[in-house]
Amino acid sequence: MIAERKRTSQGMVNSTTRAMPGLVHAGIHRRIDDEGIVIYEARTGTDDDALRYRQTLEGHLVKQRWYRPFGHWVHPGGVRRVAFMRSFRVISEAGAKQTVALKLSDLVTLVIGRVPELKLAILHEGLDRPEEIMLYEEWDGTKEGFLTDEAPKPYRAAYREETTHLIADRGDLEWLLPIRIYESHP
């Protein structure tokens, strides 16, 4: 069943990467803690481009979430063995979203400079839910290694401490196993 979904998912990403311009990064992933396939794409373009792209996918995918990338970090080389996505719903207080986004950007910049296992990080804001921020990361490591070695680091605890009062809801941390990665190469 997963192989069948995998073939269908790869066909969808292959066709959309050619049909719509602006691809920056895409991946087909298998969920680690649950069944199913997740397709992740990051694209450049306007809100109108996003609307046209959404319309082409209507009826083909379920549980679509739409975000606008606003930060992108890459550490070249290595293998991408695990990925995760986490969304945050920020409180509606003025400046809260900008503060969380800035602190999360600072954290990613620090980690990508110190930890060579972090291969890619992309920050997003919600298109349909402007109070949401989503972080997508790819690592040359394992889920267990991340939870044991990286999650308890003091800089991560400091970030959580500095932002906890600004976050209304921390979404589930969704762990993914990359099956295939697509990237644009200018």
Residue that has been written with the tokens 């959404």 in this structure: 54
Domain count for the chain:
1
pLDDT band at 12 (very low <50, low <70, confident <90, very high): low
pTM for this model (two decimals): 0.82
Report the phi/psi class of residue 29: left, alpha or beta, with left for phi > 0 and alpha for psi in -120 to 50: beta
**Whether 137 contacts 87, CB under 8 Å:** no
CATH of the domain at 54: 3.30.70.100
Each residue's pLDDT tens digit, 149-186: 999 999 999 999 999 999 999 888 899 999 888 877 55
Nearest to 184 by CA among 4, 8, 13, 6: 13
- Residues above pLDDT 90, as percent of the chain: 44
Query: In whole angstroms, what is the distance from residue 103 CA to residue 137 CA?
Result: 16
Residue 31 predicted with pLDDT over 70: yes
Residue 1 predicted with pLDDT over 50: no
pLDDT band at 5 (very low <50, low <70, confident <90, very high): very low
Each residue's pLDDT tens digit, 33-61: 888 888 888 877 887 887 787 777 777 76
The parent domain of residue 94 ranges over 2-183
Tokens of 163: 């932002």
